[in-house]
Amino acid sequence: MDFTLKIWRQENAAVKGKFVTYQINDISPDSSFLEMLDQLNESLIDKVQKPVCFDSDCREGICGACGLYINGRPHGPDDAITTCQLHMRKFKSGQTIVIEPWRAKPFPIIKDLVVDRSSFDKIIEAGGYVSVNTGGVPDANSIPIPKANADLAMDAAACIGCGACVAACKNASAMLFVSAKVAHLSLLPQGRVEAKERVRKMVDTMDELGFGNCTNTGACEAECPKEISLTNIARLNREYYAAKLS
């Protein structure tokens, strides 16, 4: 398969970036999108040019490191996948593919397609945990938890922190990310103890970091590689009102 790639190149945060067009040929349809970029980079190195920088690590859709905005969709034209799980068979040979970094104020560009997502860590640091120290905890089976709740908590906890929700949202809102953690912990008795404190701090931090507001468009849910549901945002809203108005 042959492709024309329009890739965002930017030396660092301080300088302006631009799109650069590359031609790449003889790509196997079984190749993953990132393997296609690996091959592009090999050819650039051959030509003594700088390869395109992009984040990727586990390459099996769970670490959340990779994230490219491909032809107008975070993680590209397939559902419920990360960029590393996108395969070239999803494209037509001869197609032009536009590749951009995640764009949001709280995700500044480091280089090319690599962005700084440490704002997500800051949100978790604000309260995305249960305050227990190592040791001195009760037996694991001492608190029965309804299976339905455990399953819902697991659905929410599946978030990989890739940032596709922010990238997809027209407002660059981080509500799906925040709601996934709030929902995960608020559904479990262990997390209920400090539920109010948690949701207040996490939402405040999210606001301070400059993410946009949720307008319930559902783009985040549509692009989430782990299919985190909008119901979590509704739950976040409820938890937030309960915390603020009590």
Partner 1 sequence: MSNIFSTSIGRKLLMSLAGIFLLTFLVVHLGINLLVLRETQDAFNIAAHFMGTNPVIKVFEIVLFGGILIHIIYGMILSIQNGKSRPVRYKKDNHSQTSFFSKYMFHTAIIVGIFIVIHLFDFYFKAKFTDVVDSVTINGKHYHDLGELVIEKFKMPVFVFGYIFAFIFLSFHLHHGFQSAFQTLGINHKSYTPIIKAFGVVYSILIPLGFAIIPIVIYFFR
Partner 2 sequence: MTDLKAKIPEGPLAEKWTRFKGNQKLVNPANKRKLDVIVVGSGLAGASAAASLGELGFNVKVFCYQDSTRRAHSIAAQGGINAAKNYPNDGDSVWRLFHDTIKGGDYRSREANVYRLAEVSGNIIDQCVAQGVPFAREYGGLLDNRSFGGAQVSRTFYARGQTGQQLLLGAYSALSRQVNKGSLEVFARTEMLDLVVVDGKARGIITRDLATGEIQRHSAHAVVVASGGYGNVFFLSTNAMGSNASAAWQCFKKGACFANPAYAQIHPTCIPVHGSFQSKLTLMSESLRNDGRIWVPKNKEDAEKIRKGTLKPTDLKEEDRDYYLERRYPAFGNLVPRDVASRAAKERCDAGYGVGTGLAVYLDFADAINRLGRDVIEARYGNLFQMYEKITDENPYETPMMIYPAIHYTMGGIWVDYELQTTVPGLFAIGEANFSDHGANRLGASALMQGLADGYFVLPYTIQNYLADEIKTPRLETSHPAFDEAEKAISERIDQLFSIQGTKSVDSFHKRLGAVMWDFVGMARNKEGLQQAIDQIVQIKKDFWSDVRIPGDKSELNPELEKAGRVADFIELGELMARDALQREESCGGHFREEYQTEEGEALRNDDQYRYVGAWEYKGADQEPVLHKEDLIFEYIQVKQRNYK
Residue 241 lies near partner 2 (rule: CB under 8 A): no
- Report yes or no: 153 and 187 within 8 Å, Cβ to Cβ: yes
**Binding to partner 1 by residue 54, rule CB under 8 A?**
no
> Contact 86/99 with Cβ under 8 angstroms?
no
Farthest CA pair distance, the chain: 64
**What SS3 state is found at 114?**
strand
Query: Rule CB under 8 A: which of 191-230 touch partner 2?
Result: 191
- Name the residue nearer to partner 2 (CB basis): 80 or 234: 80
Identity of the residue, 137 or 242, whose beta carbon is nearer to partner 2 in the bound complex: 137
* Closest-CA residue to 174 (of 145, 141, 207): 207
Q: Does residue 116 interact with partner 1 by CB under 8 A?
A: no
Binding partner of 168, given partner 2, partner 1, none, CB within 5-8 angstroms per partner class = partner 1
Residue 128's contacts (CB-CB under 8 Å, 6 or more residues apart) are 181, 182, 185, 198, 202
* Beta-strand pair 73-74/69-70: antiparallel
**Binding to partner 1, residues 135-174 (CB under 8 A):** 168, 170-173
Cβ at position 91, least distance to partner 2 in Å: 14
Q: State the residues that interact with partner 1 by CB under 8 A.
A: 6, 8, 19, 69, 71-74, 77, 98, 100, 103-106, 168, 170-173, 200, 203-204, 206-207, 210-219, 222-223, 230-231, 233-238, 240-241, 244-245
